[in-house]
Chain A
Amino acid sequence: MRRLNPTSLGQHLDVLYRAAWGLCGSREDAEDLVQETYARVLARPRMIREDERAYLMRAMRNTFYSRLRTASRRPQEAATLEDIEPADPRAGNRPDRVAEFGEIMQAISELPEDFRLAIVAVDVLGLSYGEAAKALDAREATITTRLYRARQRIAKEFDDSPPSGEGSAAKRSLSVKENS
């Protein structure tokens, strides 16, 4: 057990922000989720056993669920602007980099929740399988299976190879810079 150092938590911000975007599917919600997670964690002194990043992942998952519960209780009237006005002329104005990143995060956010949490914990946050299992309260074997299937869906989603056979769903085409 050791005391969580508030000043060292900032170093995880970028990766936590990306993870939050993967969980929520939108930049604005990701910002809210990260802000609320940090606010909760920093509200009082904490003693932690695990890695800081794993601790933050657990805190963020709890905050995420808590926000979902709150949102489900709050009556919310949602509509699209198309009901009122023509389409937003800004659509497509964002830099390619953001669009690509946004597309990947959007694809993650559309995965089933268990798959989403596993891939966010391991491939976005960079936790080990063991750390991810602890953070997500699941067995390590369960995490690896979910991770495998989540990656499989993401790979298929961005598969650039020509479709073989009929009825293949529209796939997102994406060129990804490889770090070699």
Chain B
Amino acid sequence: MTDRSQLPEAELAALADGSLPADRRAQLRARIEASPELASALGEQERAVRMLRAVDEPAPAALRAHVSEMAGGAARTAGPRSASRWRRSLFVPAATALAVAVAALVALLGSSGSSAPTVPQTARLALAAATSPAPPEDPAHGGLLRLRVGGIAFPYYGRTAGWQATGARTDTIGGRRIVTVFYMEQGHRVGYAIVSGAPLAVGGGKLIIEGGVNYRLQHTGGALLVTWRQGGHTCVIAGHRVNSATLLALASAEERQAA
């Protein structure tokens, strides 16, 4: 019998993943053959290694696109280092002043700037007026409307929750498409917006976790909104005079399917 506290843990770990030097391998193998405890311990290590190295889940496309965008930006701004230091020190105040001016201009122009949309901006769209008719129910996919953003379809609540789609609108902020569908039920109205592309920064509010999904419940300008992510995109549902339970139920009850 081998005392488990005396197991050559480091060597067993290395043998299991193939990193143990060849000269120590044969010696350890001989010990393992003579010890069921060692064999069992090696078996566990090998099983875990096989399991972990078999996973191949790729990063979501939206995350890939965002990282690629960041890397491209960094590569463009890197430039030759040798001459850049003194220039940077000389021009930092001017660049800062310029950045402040640009930020002020963007703020004055509202959503027409080139930066990514924010959750409050998206919520404002979800509370705005419709500009086009509502998409019809998708007969091929029960519980969904025939309108998708980045593979995510809008839900059709008509049969279950009673909320009917009444209109839609499409906006662009910072080059990102935001599509909103409006629903009504007994005089109450909510807007359900999906922002294409990389996830928006979301924070604050009350966090509610269900089915592995993080829902953020927040108040803004007298309205209530819930934000979450699906398929790498950001979804926002917002409404006036609608309680949190209703919004959360609508946010979590949809049965959209990736395209």
Contact = CB atoms under 8 A, between A and B. Distances in A.
Given A119-B52, A151-B45, A17 B70 contact: no
A59 interface: no
A80 interface: yes
B67 A179 contact: no
Interface string A108-128: 000000000001001110001
26 contacts: A10-B68, A16-B59, A28-B199, A35-B66, A42-B74, A77-B207, A78-B207, A81-B209, A81-B248, A84-B244, A85-B252, A119-B52, A123-B52, A124-B55, A129-B14, A145-B9, A147-B13, A148-B13, A150-B48, A151-B49, A152-B41, A154-B51, A154-B52, A155-B45, A155-B47, A178-B50
A144 interface: yes
Interface of A: 3, 5-7, 9-10, 13-14, 16-18, 21, 26-29, 31-32, 34-35, 38-39, 42-43, 45, 76-82, 84-85, 87-91, 93, 97-98, 101-102, 104-105, 119, 122-124, 128-129, 141, 144-145, 147-152, 154-156, 158, 174, 176-179
B72 A38 contact: no
Interface of B: 9-10, 12-14, 16-17, 19, 41, 43-45, 47-60, 63-64, 66-68, 70-75, 78, 81, 198-199, 206-215, 229, 232, 244-245, 248-249, 252-255
Nearest to B232: A31
